[in-house]
Structure 1
Amino acid sequence: MNRRSFVVGASGGALMMASGAIAWMSAVGSMVDYEAYANGLRAGLTMPADIRGLLRYATLAANSHNTRPWRFRVGEGIIDVLPDFSRRTPAVDPEDHHLFVSLGCAAENLAIAATSSGRPGELEMHPDGDWARYAFVSGSIRTSPLCAAIPKRQSTRTEYDRRPVPAAELALLEQAAAMPGVHLVLVTDRTRVNKVKDLVVAANGIQMADLAFLNELEQWIRFNPRSAIRSGDGLFYAAKGNPVLPSAFGRFAFERLFTAGTENDKYARQIDSSAGIAVFVGDRADRAHWFKVGQACQRFALTATYLGIKVAFVNQPVEVARFRSELAGLVGQAGRRPDIVLRFGYGSTLPFSLRRPVEAVLA
């Protein structure tokens, strides 16, 4: 090959590589744009907070599959927190248990943000248990450090560094989550942590063999910044420590590489790396108590964030009904239905998930 042929060939190859890179970036979008959008959603509140700011903070709450299954109805002196059944996940949550836990998480964020930023009020569940109302009242600002933790909280789905959480901080977590009708059990001894791990792995194996579960999960995965920004919801692939991919390629990889073996090994490593497990159990298996569990869970997660502790959901043993009684017995709550399982520990921060605009969640 002469020099001219080599230069022409090299130039052509470079052009093809550049074209491929441009096509790839066009398909996946920019992480810079993603981070800018996420940071805007998580900006601090004004003082006193306006209604839009309070609703934005409410939507930063934890929820299943990042579906954002809530709507807000604003009236004179009130904000109602309503379920959005159009965003159900019936394969993993056929009873809408997670949906009502998510409502409790959002309502708790709303109450904390409002009380801390000049709009104190009272939060009450409607008697039918289907929705809640935050009613503004006159009173002084009661600033809470949990308000500043709201935009920083995330479900950090990666391995932690195995450090134990000091007893004094475990006590603060228990105190923050204390709520009538809800029991919190912290599991830190490795023997019981390993037993919880076995239940998580076994239940995960059942879910991974369920085609309806897998199809539903795939519908909520956002494989790249472009699709995540467009939808404003779902499980962002990079938020689990994965590389961003074009949507078509991501679906191809998910359907062929997302296996029970790899997922079971991942959850086992993640639990082994955690300082402990938190199990939330309501007095009764009804919507009102699921809502209360959400409130307690959100306060736990915000307190953990304030203390520099990461959390992530490992709810498989409560999602697969056959494992609930064994989990309840393991944590000393025999006869009750476990509601939420979180692992906690110290680790790095991953990209934050996104939210739909406030306008999209107004009733």
Structure 2
Amino acid sequence: MNRRNLLIGGTAALVLAGAGGVAWRQSVGSMRAYADYARRLRAKPTPSPDIGELIRYAALAANGHNTQPWRFGIEDGGIALFPDEARRTPVVDPDDHHLFVSLGCAVETLAIAAQATGRPGEVVVEPGDGSAVRFDFSAGPARADPLFDAIPLRQSTRVDYDGRAVPPADLAALERAAAEPGVRMILVTERSRMNQLRDLVVAGNDAQMTDPAFMAELKHWLRFNPRSAIASGDGLFSACTGNPVLPAFLGGPAFDIFLTARTENDRYARQIDSSAGLAIFVADRADTGHWIRVGRACQRFALTATSLGLKHAFVNQPVEVARLRPELAERVGEAGKRPNIVMRFGYGPLMPFSPRRPAEAVIA
């Protein structure tokens, strides 16, 4: 669930873009092609979708670094979701915590889409049999659900929000949506408490950006232009964070030169200051089954926020830097527990949607 922004200042961006020559002046057309590609990815399923269509929708779920670390196995009476070991992020996620949270997000999206299109079922966590989680189909009618309508609209919006407060009724709806056995979601909207958590995010970001292994892993998943994003169908596309698109041969050097701890720390502090609140997810136990449950709760939170006109983004640095977890847990009243996810939320702009691989690429 970790996200990072490529920072290129205005003057520097112009210099680098100019070095790309005349060919790169076609970037506007490339972004139009990318917008068409993103719309096709998020087209609503037909009224009676086949399994492939349901999997395409499930793969729109939130996931770490947009690696889409899942495989879907079509089985008699259900669909099994497996970790895709080739898409692990071992530096930022050495114990696969984010990977299993991502699987939880995907299976929850699958369950919502299946119920809304007349193929209801049950999520079954089976960590001991080689698969992480299954969705078993049952009989039943289609049932309208605003979360289904929110699936193609949900995005991690990694820019400044407008600072407006969220009405109490909508905060209550977010709390209800995140209810999950074995998981607690703590909402923080008081500015003084948000400032304390902001400082932990900045401390975690500073630690990560001075780690060469972290920076190398992050760079591997960055996509600097529409063509690269469409070709890979994964990763962190710079336009999704409001940053310039660059030719591949300039993107890497720009990352090395202009992405600094100081500018990133300032950006994260500003973004949290612009948010209406923070949501922290904590599970009862640190095991794969509970991490999947966290993902399910997290996805319902994100889809409910989307249905309410809210944006969200992950700020997981104090979860990912192990030495900061105890302080984070204490700050939210969960001393002794391992925090799992930190999200900010508020009112913000619509940004380009992230890429996704086609269904056939994720079916085992």
The CA distance in 2 between the partners of 1:201 and 1:329, in whole Å, is 17
Counterpart code for 1:295: R
State whether residues 83 and 131 of structure 1, in contact with CA within 8 Å, keep that contact through their aligned partners in structure 2: yes
Kept after mapping to 2: 8 A contact 1:163/1:275:
yes
Q: Does structure 2 retain, via aligned residues, the 8 Å contact 1:28–1:225?
A: no
**SS at 1:73 equivalent:** strand
**Mapping of residues 82-93 of structure 1, within 5 Å:** 82-93=82-93
Name the counterpart of 1:132.
133
CA RMSD of aligned residues (A): 1.6
1:249-286, Cα deviation, whole Å (9 max, x unpaired): 11111001000000000000000000000000000011
CA contact (8 A) 1:24 1:246 kept: yes
User: Which residue of structure 2 aligns with residue 246 of structure 1?
Assistant: 247
Within 1, Cα distance between the matches of 2:250 and 2:341? Answer: 33
CA distance in 2, matches of 1:21, 1:42: 33
Deviation at 1:77, TM superposition (A): 1.8
Moved over 4 A (4+): 18-22, 25-29
Equivalents in 1 of 2:258, 2:125: separation in Å?
A: 43
Task: Tell me whether 124-133 or 226-235 shows the greater mean CA deviation.
Answer: 124-133
Deviations 1:160-198 (A, max 9, x none): 000000110000000001000000000000010000000
Amino acid at match of 1:254: F
Residues 237 and 354 in structure 2, CA contact (< 8 A), matched pair in contact too = yes
Deviation at 1:26, TM superposition (A): 6.5
Q: Secondary structure at the match of 2:204?
A: helix
SS of match in other structure, 2:122: strand
Task: Give, in whole Å, the separation in 2 of the partners of 1:126 and 1:42.
Answer: 29
Normalising by structure 1, we get a TM-score of 0.93
Could you tell me which residue of structure 2 aligns to residue 118 of structure 1? 118
Q: Does the aligned pair in 1 maintain the 2:81–2:103 contact within 8 Å?
A: yes
AA matched with 1:73: G
1:19–1:91 CA distance, 2 compared to 1 (3 A) = closer
In structure 1, the partner of 2:15 is: none
CA 245–297 in structure 1, closer or farther in 2 if over 3 Å, else same: same
Q: How many residues align?
A: 346
Q: Is the 8 A contact 2:20 2:247 kept in 1?
A: no
Letter in 1 for 2:124: E
**Is the alpha carbon distance of 1:19 and 1:255 closer, same or farther for their aligned partners in structure 2, counting shifts above 3 Å?**
closer
Aligned to 1:50: 50
SS of residue matched to 2:269: helix
Corresponding position of 2:330 = 329
8 Å Cα contact 2:204-2:321 kept in structure 1: yes
1:22: Cα distance to partner?
4.4
Quote how far apart the aligned CAs of 1:248 are.
1.5
- Residue matched to 2:32: 32
Instruction: Note if 1:316 corresponds to 2:317.
Output: yes
Q: Which residue of 1 aligns with 2:205?
A: 204
Q: Aligned partners of 2:19 and 2:287: how far apart in 1?
A: 56
Identity score, percent: 63
Deviation per CA, 1:84-126, whole angstroms, max 9, x where unpaired? Answer: 0110001100000000000000000000000101111111111
1:225-252 residue CA offsets vs partner (Å, 9 max, x unmatched): 0000000000000001101001111111
* CA distance in 2 between partners of 1:352 and 1:138 (Å): 34
Aligned to 1:188: 189
Match of 1:72 in 2: 72
- The aligned amino acid for 1:71 is R
Higher mean C-alpha deviation, range 25-34 or range 232-241: 25-34
Q: Secondary structure at the match of 1:159?
A: coil
**Aligned-partner Cα distance in 1 for 2:151–2:20:** 40
Give the conservation status (yes or no) of the 8 Å contact 1:27–1:246.
Answer: no
**For each residue in 1:106-156, what CA deviation from the matched residue of structure 2 results, as whole angstroms up to 9, or x when unmatched?**
000000000101111111111428511111111122221100100000000
**Secondary structure of 1:30's aligned partner:** helix
For the residue of structure 2 that corresponds to 1:352, the secondary structure is: coil
Specify the alignment match of 1:97 in structure 2. Answer: 97
**Contact 1:187–1:277, Cα closer than 8 Å, also in 2:** yes
Partner residue, 1:259: 260
SS at structure 1 position matched to 2:72 = strand
CA distance in 2, matches of 1:159, 1:19: 29
What do the CA deviations read for 1:294-343 (whole angstroms, capped 9, x no partner)?
Answer: 00000000000000000000000000000000000000011100000000
Alpha-carbon offset, residue 76 of structure 1? 2.3
TM-score, normalised relative to structure 2: 0.93
Q: Which runs of no fewer than 5 residues in structure 2 stay unpaired?
A: 1-17
